[in-house]
């Protein structure tokens, strides 16, 4: 089991962080690597104790004590957020950042927060990622190896990921960010996109992992999709209806109310599957679809509505649903198949 990629089918906020933590524990993964743009998106996991873990820079695989974590070279690093997560999670002894990562500065953040196009039209999080990425492309950004405070954590993450993935008994998990339909060059929703692609291929590239090591693509599909910021959202519910149903969600990074859809758009889901090539599907937020499922951990709890959605998702993606998320806690998961 050399390497698995966790990727979002639609617009993000689907529970990739929970899937990464769950699979890291299940398989005692040797390494979890963060792919994606940078700190413009967050992940959250609720532990059995009720403690809520929020992260923006490092993958949540560290919730397995034996898993090392890293930031891939294609990911932007904000040294302040990186340092904060090392301290909050107590993982300085098993965290790495690729020496080639471009760095987000205070100037990048200030430039985005003063950019009306990004703030008002696009609905960006304005966390400096777009401007830092632009500077990297123009070859004027600083890199992680240029900052003394990052020196203890510098590594060639691509070399380490490929070394581990070349073994037969250790697993590398790559946690992507955001969602396929936010991809800069693949979404029809431009300019309501992020500043790069969010697909399986993009995640491999962000980490520098040889595609021959890839054995599984776990595509996360949110049963009732959400979207933050502007851009189309098929089957969108009103904010009042979302509140009435008790299924309101708020962004990890921004705290903004997530727009929420009543159902999946299967044309988009088929397109996402074409782009990502999933071998497995993790269907998340099943309890928002059927509140009776909340917290369930056995297949006996799955009702007809959710079973119908599982069958529809499998038909649209051509991949089996192997994980069903049933609630906020890390162990609120049903394994299928």
Residues comprising the binding site for IMP?
125, 139, 178, 194, 256
What angle (nearest 5°) sits at the alpha carbon of residue 277, between those of residues 195 and 275?
40
Token digits for 196? 């790069």
Q: Which of 107, 53, 55, 60 is nearest to 84 (CA)?
A: 55
Structural contact between residues 158 and 93, judged by C-beta atoms closer than 8 angstroms: no
The DSSP line for 95-139 is: EEEETT-BB--HHHHHHHHT-HIIIIII----SSHHHHHHHHHTT
The catalytic residue among 8, 13, 290, 332 is 13
135 in catalytic set: no
Separation of alpha carbons 63 and 89, rounded Å: 9
Residues annotated within a binding site for substrate: 252-258
Positions of E strands within the chain: 3-8, 31-34, 43-46, 52-55, 68-71, 95-98, 154-155, 172-175, 214-222, 226-227, 259-260, 280-284, 321-325, 333-335
Enumerate the known binding-site residues.
13, 42, 125, 139, 178, 194, 252-258, 285-287
Reported as type and span, the H/E element at residue 306 is helix 304-317
Is residue 45 within 8 Å of residue 21, measured between CB atoms? yes
* φ, ψ for residue 27, nearest 5 deg: -105, 5
Catalytic residues: 13
């Amino acid at each position: 089991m050399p390497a698995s990629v966790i990727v979002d089918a639609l617009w993000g906020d689907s529970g990739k962080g929970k899937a990464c933590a769950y699979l890291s524990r299940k398989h005692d993964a040797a390494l979890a690597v963060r792919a994606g743009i940078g700190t413009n998106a967050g992940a959250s996991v609720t532990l059995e104790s009720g403690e809520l873990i929020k992260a923006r820079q490092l993958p949540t695989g560290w919730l397995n004590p034996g898993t090392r974590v890293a930031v891939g070279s294609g990911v932007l690093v904000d040294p302040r957020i990186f340092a904060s997560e090392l301290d909050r999670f107590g993982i300085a002894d098993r965290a790495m950042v690729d020496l080639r990562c471009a760095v987000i500065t205070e100037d990048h953040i200030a430039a985005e927060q003063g950019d009306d196009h990004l703030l008002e039209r696009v609905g960006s999080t304005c966390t400096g990622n777009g401007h830092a990425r632009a500077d990297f492309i123009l070859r004027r950004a600083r890199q992680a190896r240029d900052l003394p405070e990052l020196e203890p954590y510098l590594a060639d993450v691509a070399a380490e990921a490929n070394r581990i993935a070349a073994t037969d008994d250790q697993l590398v998990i790559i946690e992507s960010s955001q969602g396929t339909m936010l991809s800069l060059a693949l979404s029809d929703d431009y300019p309501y996109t992020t500043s790069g692609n969010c697909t399986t291929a993009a995640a491999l590239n962000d980490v520098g992992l040889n595609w021959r090591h890839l054995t599984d693509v776990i595509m996360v599909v949110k049963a009732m999709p959400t979207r933050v910021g502007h851009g189309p959202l098929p089957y969108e519910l009103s904010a009042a209806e979302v509140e009435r149903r008790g299924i309101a969600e708020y962004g990890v990074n921004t705290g903004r109310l997530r727009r929420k859809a009543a159902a999946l758009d299967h044309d988009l889901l088929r397109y996402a599957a074409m782009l990502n090539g999933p071998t497995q599907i993790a269907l998340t937020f099943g309890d928002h679809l059927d509140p009776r499922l909340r917290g369930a951990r056995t297949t006996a709890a799955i009702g007809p509505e959710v079973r119908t959605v599982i069958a529809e998702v499998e038909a649209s993606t051509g991949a089996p649903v192997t994980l069903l998320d049933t609630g906020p806690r890390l162990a609120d998961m049903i394994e299928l198949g």
